[in-house]
Amino acid sequence: MMNAVCLLPRTEQNTVCFTGHRNLDPEEIAIVRERLRQMIRECFSAGYRWFICGGALGFDTLAATAVLEEKRQNNQIGLFLAVPCGDQARQWQKQEQAVYREILDSADEKIILSDHYYSGCMHMRNQYMVQHSSLCICYLRSFTGGTGFTVRYALACNRRVVNLCLPDSVPLKEPSWNSTFTFPFVSANALTVPLLPFRLATGRKWSVMSVRSSGKRPCAGHS
C-alpha cells in the first residue's frame, strides 16, 4: 500500500488486539463504534501503532472498520488482520462477505492461520492475537464463547485489558464456577492489572481489574 512507508515496524509493544461478541443489539452499534474510534485515538497517543482484528462478524467488523476510518486521517496507523481460516466467510450473507473482502483488501498486513476451518481454529486465532499484542480492547458483557476465552487468556499472559462494555447499562456476568473477570469499579478480592490512562466518554478513567471470587463474596453491583 502507498502509505505503508509511514508505518513503524509492528512489535508486541506497539500493537493492540480486539475481541468482542458477534451479536450486538442495534442500539449498541453506534455507541460501540464511537467508543472504538475514541479508544484508537487514545491508543495512538499512548504510542500504539498497530491494531489486530480477527475478521469475524459483529464487534470484530466494527473494530476493523473503525481502524480503517481512523487510518484515512492518520497513515501512521496499521491494520493487521489475523484470519483463523481461509474459508471463514463461506456461510456468511453476501453483504457480510463484501464487507469482509473490503477489510481484507484494505489491511496493511494479514495472516491466514489455516487454509480450512477445523475445530479449535478460532481459539488458535485468539491466542495468536494476544501473543502479538500488549493491550487487549474488548467488548465483554458475558464470559461466554471466544470473547470470554480471549480475555481470560490475555489476563493469563499479563496483557492489559480495556473493556468498552458500558458499565451503567450492561451487567457483566461470569459463571459462578469460574469467577474471573475484568471490569471497572469492582470490589472483592481484587488484583489490579496495570491502570491505563484511557478515559471514558463520561470523563472517568477505567480501573482495569482481574477479580477472582471464591463465590462466597459476591462482587458489588454484579450477580
Phi, psi of 79 (to 5 degrees): -105, 125
**Domain-by-domain residue ranges, the chain?**
9-168
- For 114-163, write each residue's pLDDT tens digit: 999 999 899 999 999 999 999 999 988 777 788 888 988 888 888 888 88
**Which residues have C-beta within 8 Å of that of residue 206, sequence separation ≥ 6?**
162, 163, 184, 195, 196, 198, 199, 200
Please report where in the chains the cell 489475523 appears, as a residue.
82
Tracing cell 456468511 back to the chain, one arrives at: 92
Q: Which three cell numbers stand for residue 91?
A: 456461510
Mean pLDDT of 80-105: 94
Average pLDDT over residues 174-191: 36
pLDDT at 166: 54
- C-alpha 144/C-alpha 132 separation (Å) is 23
Rg (alpha carbons) of the chain, rounded to whole number: 17
Please provide residue 89's backbone torsions phi and psi, each rounded to the nearest 5 degrees: -95, 15
Banded pLDDT at 167 (limits 50, 70, 90): low
Residue 87 pLDDT: 93
d(CA 142, CA 139): 9
Cα 62 to Cα 57: distance, rounded to the nearest angstrom: 8
Which whole number is the average pLDDT over 206-220? 32
Burial class (CB within 10 angstroms; exposed 0-12, middle 13-18, buried 19+) of 23:
exposed
- Rounded alpha-carbon distances, angstroms, from residue 12 to 39, 44, 45, 159: 18, 14, 17, 10
Could you please report the per-residue DSSP string of 33-65?
HHHHHHHHHHHHHTT--EEEE---STHHHHHHH
Burial per residue of 36-61, b for 16 or more beta-carbon CB atoms within 10 angstroms, e otherwise: bbbbbebbbeeebbbbbbbbbbbbbb
CATH level 2 (architecture), domain 9-168: 3-Layer(aba) Sandwich (3.40)
pLDDT in tens, 5-29: 578 999 999 999 999 998 888 888 9
Alpha-carbon distance 129 to 125, whole Å?
6
